[in-house]
Structure 1
Amino acid sequence: MRTQRPAALPMAAGIALATALTLTTTACGGGSTTAGSDSSPKTLTYWASNQGTSLDNDKQVLEPELKKFEQQTGIKVDLEVIPWSDLLNRILAATASGQGPDVLNIGNTWSASLQATGALLPFDQAAFARIGGKDRFLPAAVASAGAVGKDPAAVPLYSMAYGLYYDKTLFQAAGIANPPTTWDELVADGKKLTTGSQYGLAIEGGNVSENVHNAFMLGLQHGTGFYDTSGKPQFDSPQAVAAVKQYVDFIAADKIAAPGDAEYAANQSVTDFATGKAAMLMWQAAGPSLKSHGMNPDDYGVASIPVPAGATGSQATTSMVAGINLAVFKNTHNLDGALDFVKFMTGDDEQKILNSSYGSLPPVRSVEADPAFATPELKTLAGVLQNSAAPLPQVASESQFETLVGTAVKNLLAAAAAGQPVTDATVKSELTKAQQQMPAG
């Protein structure tokens, strides 16, 4: 799947990530960028995230493009596609050891956390100049590339947003004319669509990242971003409790999602939607995966995720700013080649090819209006990114937030699936435990 799906981060790794690493580097390259000497000018290692329908699919997409880069520059790129379940821990091990790839994909929500390690090359004015300038990229995408007030730790590569996918045939059979725009409507529609082995909504309850992305979006709708203005965690506020309980209640109280969804962690919810076992799905750029399961674009519609009735401002948020960034390890032995590779991957031609292959949106201004990205699905998702998406907190502890809150939601969904009561008190207890596990400071 093209979406950002890191697995749970072990506490030892979380503590390692919270500790900024000081990496000794020697000057190399132009401007203010620094890195190790260009001792391997004809080779690069690249860690790519799993954006396609499989690791092999990613290789099929990327290898011809990497061959183009080699033909243009003489630099051979050694590719490794890493599953989301392993990627963050692999990156953390590399930052701790100083032995990482030259270039790597990172989930954009990790940008500030990985930036705090000091292991990634800052994209200052000189580095951006090497790849064509900062102004080439959409502001919302750049805003999810590092902490506010600091040079970004990466550059945007693929942009995505969440949308509500709905099965047109199942909606018609249930007498539902339009997709829901409020949560009350979604629950009411979901109950109409839940019959026999068919459910109204599919969720990926065993997936920590899916859980926290939805909790964050619902949190903003309830009036919390899970951190206060000083960057202090507020995981168990009344607003956070209400947001998480609303999500868990899809199984617990509303019963519009199957109890088995609490165990889903490998895109099974997409399969259920594509095969008619669920009528609705909240997902990022699902088109290519749905197609791989035999579902045609005419079979489904895409709308914005619902909001509370009458919601405005941040309470009308319908997605986190999703996407993948491209980063350079500060101690690369081929800084010039690494920056050339970033320029290549974010160039207009490659942006069209790669984002078209993955069903994602190009974060480059000159490409966003290309007709290839004017499908109904992508136009809807682009509108969400422009009008109703918000970045996850760009703070050093963001990865721990994802892991701990996402795991709390996973635990609550598992309890609901087992028939245990889920109350405000049980939700608050899980979120309080998550907050207590956050590193001090």
Structure 2
Amino acid sequence: MNLRGAASATLLVVAATACGSGAGSDGEQAKTLTYWASNQAAGIELDRKILEPELAAFQKSTGIKVNLEVIPWSDLQTRILNAAASGRGPDVVNIGNTWSTSLQATGAFVEFDDATLAKVGGKGRFLASSMSSTGAPGLPPGSLPLYGMAYGLYYNKKRFAEAGIDEPPKTWQELVGTARKLTGGGRYGLTLLGASYTEGVHFAWMFGRQNGASVFDGEHPAFDTPEMVAGVKRYLDLIAVDKVVNPSDAEKTQDAQLYTDFASGKAAMMIMQNHGTAGLAAFDMDPDEYGVVPIPLPEDARQPVTSHVAGINITAFAESRNREGALKFIEFMTSPQEQTKLNKAFGSLPVVNGVTDPAFAAGHNKVFAEVLATAQPLPMIPQEAQFETLVGTAVKDLFAQVATGERVTESDIKAKLSEAGQKLLNGG
């Protein structure tokens, strides 16, 4: 998951829930924390059902009560930015890990220098790849990893068997060829969230990086390079040229829409992060009914990028009246024991060393863990969030165009990406 909107964007100062820096005596504050959790499960009530027993265990151990609010991703950006502007935020908050540098630039969050890191288990507690997406290089992290995610290619074994396909594709060229064999009769080889700008920017970045794109030249946008244009075109070609994606996918924004088509056999493959395993279980699909492999690379790939370092981070507001309690809570949430429980429940991956549960070292989880271990972070600069919003929206709009049968050329793609870069230079 990823935060959209730069830290420098207009901050709407509205009344926020009084929490770590709000009302109440210092004594009361020392015994309580407010925690804004991101929506990880199929619904907010399920998030609460998963988290509340763990928060009760933390209270039993420390005497600190945690007041939980689970916030939908559609609202979390605004809530956090408002809290950063007003100084009236929670004690602890989840963030998309690619938001790290943009939020760090606000100065509203705890700096995890060596002394602070020691209070939450030390830097060595965390996986190196996940730590690469915690803030600007050269500065103390502004957040710490909580849940790990990575992309993979899911394939429906029944659909493959029906088509006489013995194994998943190993290259991008094979993926397209396989998807063509699986398309026909109202069924498609692949399903995508075409109306999701977050997915759009992820594909643009991954495919651009595979071509050798740098995306930024220092802090200057390089969105319209030939490498980026070719990457976006490869994504659009799945629907415009290869015709292996249903044009109606241009209207899809929710993961559940992909699960429906994949589980029913309407789509034989989908590209999804590892939380898709929990999502498919909710659609009564047994893990043995599908396989997962890394996203196949083009034969001429210049960078072996099959995912960005995806996931959720956790951080504390610097204005918290119970900073020590907040750090204790972060230590608790990132302990190997809690990492085992929570990542199992949410279908995500542990981001700390010392997790020994075999469930994370076998099957689909093993594939995703190996991808995450070698993944690259999205640009860790303050403008990253603007990059996500602007490029993601451009790709979403282009996807909608080709879905209607409109011809989109490389020049059209370059113009759209150039426009996104200019908007970033003009402040978004």
TM-based fold match above 0.5 = yes
- Contact 2:179–2:190 under 8 Å retained in 1: yes
- Residue type at the aligned position of 2:361: A
Cα deviation per residue 1:136-194 (whole Å; 9 max; x = unaligned)?
A: 11111111101110000011111111000000110111111111121111111111111
Map of 1:28 onto structure 2: none
SS of aligned partner of 1:319:
coil
Which amino acid counterpart does residue 302 of structure 1 have in structure 2? V
C-alpha contact (below 8 Å) 2:219/2:383 kept by paired residues: no
Give the secondary-structure state (helix, strand or coil) at the position aligned to 1:316. Answer: coil
Q: Does 1:142 align with 2:134?
A: no
Across the two proteins, how many residue pairs are aligned to each other? 412
Distance of 2:233 and 2:368 partners within structure 1: 26
Structure 2 contact 2–98 (Cα < 8 Å) conserved: no
**Residue 414 (structure 1) aligns with:** 400
**2:63 is aligned with 1:74:** yes
1:61 to 50, 54, 61: 50
TM-score (norm 2): 0.93
- Quick check: 2:211–2:301 contact (8 Å CA) kept in 1? no
The 5 A counterparts of 1:186-225 are 186-225=175-214
Provide, for residues 58-116 of structure 1, a one-character-per-residue CA deviation record: whole Å limited to 9, x for no partner.
11110110111111111111111111111112111111111111100000010011111
Q: Do 2:2 and 2:99's aligned partners in 1 also have CA atoms closer than 8 Å? A: no
Matched, 1:112 2:101: yes
| Percent identity of paired positions between Structure 1 and Structure 2 | 52
- Of 356, 364, 374, the residue aligned with 2:344 is 356
Give the Cα separation in 2 of the matches to 1:88 and 1:273. Answer: 30
How far apart in 2 are the matches of 1:51 and 1:259? Answer: 28
Is 1:102 equivalent to 2:96 in the alignment?
A: no
Alpha-carbon separation, structure 1, partners of 2:194 and 2:68: 31
Q: CA deviation at 1:374?
A: 2.2
Alignment partners' CA distance in 2, 1:157 and 1:355 = 9
User: Among 386, 389, 406, which residue is 2:373 paired with?
Assistant: 386
Q: Is the 8 A contact 2:188 2:245 kept in 1?
A: yes
Equivalent pair of 1:39/1:333 in contact (CA under 8 Å): no
- Counterpart check, 1:154 vs 2:143: yes
Deviation at 1:270, TM superposition (A): 2.6
Once residues 270 and 152 of structure 1 are traced to their aligned partners in structure 2, the CA distance between those partners, rounded to angstroms, is 35
Q: Secondary structure at the match of 2:121?
A: coil
1:121-145 deviation digits (Å, cap 9, x = unpaired): 1111111111111111111111110
Structure 1 CA distance, aligned partners of 2:27 and 2:107? 20
Contact 1:46–1:103 (CA under 8 A) maintained in structure 2: yes
Gaps of 5+ in 1: 18-35
Structure 2 counterpart of 1:427: 413
Q: Please list, as runs of the form range in 1=range in 2, the aligned pairs for 1:363-374 lying within 5 A after superposition.
A: 363-367=351-355, 369-374=356-361
User: 302-311 or 393-402, which moves further after superposition?
Assistant: 302-311
Shift of 1:243: 0.6
In the alignment, is residue 91 of structure 1 matched against residue 80 of structure 2?
yes
Q: Which residue of 2 aligns with 1:235?
A: 223
Q: State the TM-score, normalized to the length of structure 1.
A: 0.90
Helix, strand or coil at the partner of 2:34: strand
Going from structure 1 to structure 2, the CA distance change for 1:146 and 1:427 (only over 3 Å counts) comes to same
Structure 1 residue runs of 4+, over 2 Å off? 13-17, 36-39
- Name 1:15's counterpart in structure 2: 9
Task: Report 1:245-264 matches (<5 A).
Answer: 245-264=233-252
1:310 Cα deviation (Å)?
Answer: 4.7
Q: Distance in 2 between matches of 1:325 and 1:143?
A: 11
Partner of 2:266: 277
| Unaligned 5+ runs, structure 2 | 12-24
1:194-217 CA-to-partner distances (Å, cap 9, x unmatched) read: 112211111111111111111111
**Contact between 1:304 and 1:380, CA under 8 Å: does it hold in 2?**
yes
Question: How many Å apart are 1:5 and its aligned residue?
Answer: 5.5
Backbone CA RMSD of aligned residues? 1.7
Q: How far apart, in 2, do the equivalents of 1:217 and 1:270 lie?
A: 22
Match of 1:340 among 320, 328, 335: 328
Superposition deviation, residue 311 in structure 1 = 3.3
Question: In 2, distance between residues paired with 1:379 and 1:360?
Answer: 12
**What is the rounded CA distance, in whole Å, between the counterparts of 1:86 and 1:202 in structure 2?**
26
CA distance in 2: counterparts of 1:128 and 1:16, whole angstroms? 31
Counterpart for residue 362 of structure 2: 375
Cα separation, 1, equivalents of 2:86 and 2:426? 24
